[in-house]
A and B are shown apart, each in its own frame.
Chain A
Amino acid sequence: MREVLFAGFGGQGVLTAGLILSQIALYAGNNATWMPSYGAAMRGGTANCTVHYGEGPIYNPGQQKPDLLLAMNTPSFKKFSSLVRPGGILLLNSDMMTEEPTAPDGVRLIQVACNQIADSVQNARGANIVMMGAIVKLLGDFSYDMGLAGMNDMFRKKGKSKFEEKNTAAFQAGYNAV
């Protein structure tokens, strides 16, 4: 069973990123849960969600010891990095780090300039999708094709297939960045 924590400012697409990963998991035949943190949050505030996926029932959908933390900004990195389980991965948006980050012992630190990469594939709002490509590769549970197909399937069902080409480019760029 996997646990992934997605955190950032509201508007950076972290809740959507979590949803994409959970849909990829379902697409691949796994079970999944998605749980947002819930507070009196607003646009520009912090947002986070926890995704669990794997085979069989998922009992505890809450935040425990993530295998991977995606921190899209410095406050999220500071708040959550200590939660990552030993052997886990800390994936940071290096475009939004205001100080030099360090990882807890036994945790792999990986930085991806996802805003720059998103710009370079003409998908400035796709920084979260860039990170999705990186996450699929880092966790290694789903192939590139499976990850991409699962993501595109989700947006198609939401009636957003017109962004498919741009999302594919962002996903691919993120996959290749790690």
Chain B
Amino acid sequence: MGDMIKGNIAVAEAAVRAGIEVYAGYPITPSTEVMEYLSARLPELGRTFIQAESELAAINMVLGVSACGRRSLTASSGPGISLKQEGISYMAQMNFPAVILNVVRWGNGLGSLDGAQTDYLRETRGGGNGDYRNIVLCPSTVQETVDLMYEAFDIAEKYRCIVVVMTDSGLGQMMEPCEMPPFREIRKCSWGLDGTYQVKRPDFLGRNIPGESDAYIRKVREMRENEQRWEAVGLEDAEYVFVAYGMCGRVMTGLVSEMRAAGQRVGLLRPITAWPFPEKAFAQMREKAPGLKGLITVETNGEGQMVEDVALYAKKYGLGQVPVYALPYVCGVPKDDVVKADFDRILSGEIKEVF
């Protein structure tokens, strides 16, 4: 087991080991340690660190690196990620792979510095204008953050898509021990521009939009089919299944195991990909949990965001009659006792279902 390491530092080092040659970003709490660390680490390895003049500049630098078939990273939080949306949407359109770290902080506009899950809907729906989807990885421990960041680049290049690693203030600022993966060899994607003008220029005016869209949607469907990830506990006998990701997922992993040990028939679905949402788990639930009485999301936002996806996929997989509840805790780390008490309030009928 390694020493204590801060989530933001660990995830930055994981990106270095995955082979980023460039970091371009603009600082914002609670993600700043990522670039602070890389400002020394990348030059030490002969790689490039740029503190851009703005978030928009940073994401366009990432776009440029990606166009050359090379790996890079940008990180930000809430409003900083909003500013990057133009570049993200452009990269999606051009099929440029990229990995973006969102260390989510609570709120609208400037928001606050608290950890939260208020960006769920934005991240899972693409974020910018258009008809694209990003793969959204939502780890719940520092180790999982490292492992997913390390793999994110491979996933992005496999589909030539954008992968968002979504942590939050809590996971970014907390420390716990973790193991680092080995260094990857740096290489260039074969399709990357190299200054020799051998890549054919697209004919902008003669585009076939339905054809372009069809090709993109085929890719989206492939991503949706192949990349769903989740962890499940107790689906075989659960009457109530909690659904929680990230910091809430980790809290609920512990609580569900404790409640099951006390004889309560509860289960847990912990999405590791927020998009594609792990809908296959719903198919399993329909098979495995005939006595299902409720699905309950535990989230740190105002009234639940993921709860909408849970209700949609429950409907899709024939669980439409099962009540779907949300336990939203706004920000921070939910307290075990509070969640348990609120579960009792669901059982007593005091807390009503959302869908």
Contact = CB atoms under 8 A, between A and B. Distances in A.
Contacts of A63: 333, 335
Interface residues of B, number: 26
A142 B176 CA distance: 19
B68 interface: no
Interface in B189-216: none
A35 B251 contact: no
Q: Interface extent on A, as a size class? A: 20 to 34
B173 A35 contact: yes
B173 A38 contact: yes
Contacts of B177: 26, 31-32
Contacts of B257: 59
Given A38-B115, A59-B253, A64-B336, A157 B173 contact: no
Given A23-B4, A35-B333, A60 B113 contact: no
Contact of B30 (A34, A38, A61): A38
B333 A61 contact: yes
Residue from A31, A32, A40, A62 having most chain B Cβ neighbours under 10 A: A62
A60 B250 contact: yes
Nearest to B253: A59
Contacts of A36: 173-174
A33 interface: yes
A19 B30 contact: no
Contacts of A38: 30, 113-115, 169-170, 173
Interface string B251-292: 101110100000000000000000000000000000000000
A22 interface: yes
Nearest to B175: A34
A35 B336 contact: no
A59 B175 contact: no
A157 to B, nearest CB: 7
Given A22-B4, A23-B4, A34-B4, A62 B173 contact: no
A19 to B, nearest CB: 6
B53 interface: no
Nearest to B335: A64
A58 interface: yes
A62 B335 contact: yes
A44 interface: no
B4 A19 contact: yes
A157 B251 CA distance: 31
Interface string B1-24: 101100000000000000000000
Interface string A61-97: 1111100000000000000000000000000000000
Contact of B113 (A31, A39, A61, A157): A39
Given A32-B177, A35-B170, 14 more contacts: A19-B175, A26-B1, A31-B1, A33-B176, A34-B176, A36-B173, A38-B170, A40-B113, A60-B251, A61-B174, A61-B250, A62-B332, A64-B336, A157-B3
Q: Which 5 A-B pairs have the closest CB atoms?
A: A59-B254, A62-B333, A34-B175, A35-B174, A33-B176
Interface of B: 1, 3-4, 30, 113-115, 169-170, 173-177, 250-251, 253-255, 257, 332-337
